[in-house]
A and B are shown apart, each in its own frame.
Chain A
Amino acid sequence: MATAAPSLSFPRDIFAALSPSPFLLAHLSPDSPSTNPSRPNGRAPFEFRKPTINTGSLSHCSGSAVVRLGDTAVVCGVRGELLLASNIPNPPVLPTNLNSDREDDAENDASELSSLSLLVPNIELANGASPAHLPGSPPSTLAQSLTSRIRALLYSTQLLRARDLRIIYTPPPSEASGDDEPSEKEVKAYWALYIDIMFISLDGNALDVAWAAVVAALRDTLLPSAWWDEDAQNILCSPSVSDARSLRLRGLPMAVTFAVFKPTELLSEGEQDEENEEEKAWVLSDPDAFEEGLCKEVVTVVVDGSGGKRRMRRIEKRGGGVVGREVMKGLVRRADERWREWSQIDGLKA
Chain B
Amino acid sequence: MTDRRRTNAPSGGTSAPVFVYPVKGADSLASQRPTRTRAPDELRKIFLKTGLVPSASGSAYLELSPPSAPPSKTLRPSRTSLKLTCAVHGPKPLPRSAPFSPHLILSTTVKFAPFATRARRGYIRDSTERDLGVHLETALRGVVLGERWPKSGVEVIVTVIEGEEDGWWGDSIVGGSSGAGGGGWGLMSVLAGAITVASAAIADAGIDCVDLVSGGVAAVVRDVDPKGKGNTEEGLQEGESLVLDPCPAEHKEMVAACVVGYLAGRDEITEVWMKGEAGGASDVLLDKAVYAAVASVSVVKEAVRESVEQKYKDVLGGGKGVFRGPQVPKEVEMTG
Known contacts being A79-B115, A128-B87, A194-B9, is A200 close to B53, with CB within 8 Å? yes
Instruction: For the complex formed, measure the closest distance between the CB of A80 and the CB atoms of chain B, giving whole angstroms.
Output: 7
Tell whether, in the assembled complex, residue B329 and residue A42 are in contact, meaning their CB atoms are under 8 Å apart.
yes
CA distance A59 to B75 in the complex (A): 9
Known: A22-B334, A26-B334, A194-B120. A201 touches B7 (CB 8 A): no
CB contacts (< 8 Å) of A77 on chain B: these are 113-115
A125 to B323, CA, bound (A): 25
Contact A15 B10 (CB under 8 A): no
Known contacts: A202-B55, A240-B74, A240-B75. The answer to whether A2 contacts B87 by CB under 8 A is no
B113 touches A124 (CB 8 A): yes
Number of residues on chain B facing chain A (CB within 8 A)? 68
Report chain B residues within 8 Å CB of A117: 7-11
Q: How long is the Cα–Cα vector from A3 to B334 in the complex, in angstroms?
A: 9
> Which residues of A have CB within 8 Å of B114?
77, 79, 122, 124, 194, 196
Q: Which residue of A lies closest to B109 (CB)?
A: A135
Query: What residues of B have a CB within 8 angstroms of the CB of A192 in the complex?
Result: 9-10, 14
Is B20 on the interface with A (CB-CB < 8 A)?
Answer: yes
Expressed in whole angstroms, the Cα–Cα distance for A182 and B30 within the complex equals 42
Partner of A244, one of B11, B13, B75: B75
Q: How far is the CA of A259 from the CA of B217 in the complex (A)?
A: 49
Instruction: With both chains docked as a complex, state the minimum distance between the C-beta of A198 and any C-beta of chain B, in angstroms.
Output: 5
A138-B5, A200-B53 are known contacts. Are A42 and B328 too (CB-CB below 8 A)? Answer: yes
State the Cβ distance, A344 to closest chain B Cβ, in Å: 24
Number of chain A residues close to chain B: CB under 8 A: 79
A236 & B18 in contact (Cβ 8 Å cutoff): yes
Taking CB atoms, residues of chain A closer than 8 Å to B17 are 80-82, 224, 226, 235, 237
Inter-chain contacts of A46 with B (CB < 8 A): none
Partner of A127, one of B13, B75, B159: B159
Q: Which of B76-84, B227-235, B292-300 contacts A (4 or more CB under 8 A)?
A: B76-84
Contact partner of A59 among B59, B80, B88, B329, CB < 8 A? B80
Is the CB of B100 closer than 8 A to any CB of chain A? Answer: no
| Minimal Cβ-Cβ distance residue in B for A85 | B12
Any B CB within 8 A of the CB of A13? yes
Question: Using Cβ atoms and an 8 Å threshold, which residues of chain B touch A118?
Answer: 10
Which one of A31, A60, A79, A134 lies within 8 Å of B155 (CB-CB)?
A134
- Look across to chain A and name the residue whose beta carbon is closest to the beta carbon of B160: A127
Q: Is A239 an interface residue (CB 8 A)?
A: yes
> Does the CB pair A81–B115 fall under 8 Å?
no
Name 16 extra pairs, CB < 8 A, besides A83-B10, A238-B19: A2-B335, A2-B336, A11-B321, A12-B321, A13-B323, A13-B324, A41-B325, A42-B329, A59-B80, A89-B12, A120-B10, A128-B85, A201-B56, A222-B75, A235-B17, A240-B73
Can you name 13 A-B residue pairings with CB atoms under 8 Å? A11-B321, A59-B80, A59-B162, A71-B326, A80-B17, A82-B15, A82-B16, A88-B10, A135-B155, A194-B9, A194-B120, A224-B75, A237-B20
